[in-house]
Amino acid sequence: MSRIVRIGTRGSALALAQARWTQQQLASRGQPAELVIITTSGDRFVDRPLAAIGGKGLFVKEIEEALSDGRIDCAVHSMKDVPGELAPGLVIAAVPPREDARDVALTRTGVAFATLPNGSRVGTSSLRRTALVRASHAGLTIAPLRGNVDTRLRKLDAGEIDAIVLAAAGLNRLHVTRDHVEPLDPTQFIPAIGQGALAIETRDDDVPPAIAALDDRQTRTAVEAERAFLIRVGGSCHTPLAAHAVVDGQYLRMRALIASPDGARVLRGQRHGGVNDAAAIGAALAGELLDQGGDEILRALAAS
Q: Which residues belong to the active site?
A: 81
Cα 205 → chain centroid: 26
For residues 69 and 277, what is the distance between their CA atoms, to the nearest angstrom? 35
Sheet architecture: strand order including 241-248? 241-248, 251-259, 266-274
For residues 11 and 40, the answer to whether their CB atoms sit within 8 Å is: no
| 61: CB partners within 8 A, 6+ apart | 40, 41
Strands 198-203 and 74-78: antiparallel
Q: What DSSP character marks residue 214?
A: T
Contacts (Cβ under 8 Å, ≥6 apart) of 70: none
- Beta carbons of 219 and 96 less than 8 angstroms apart: yes
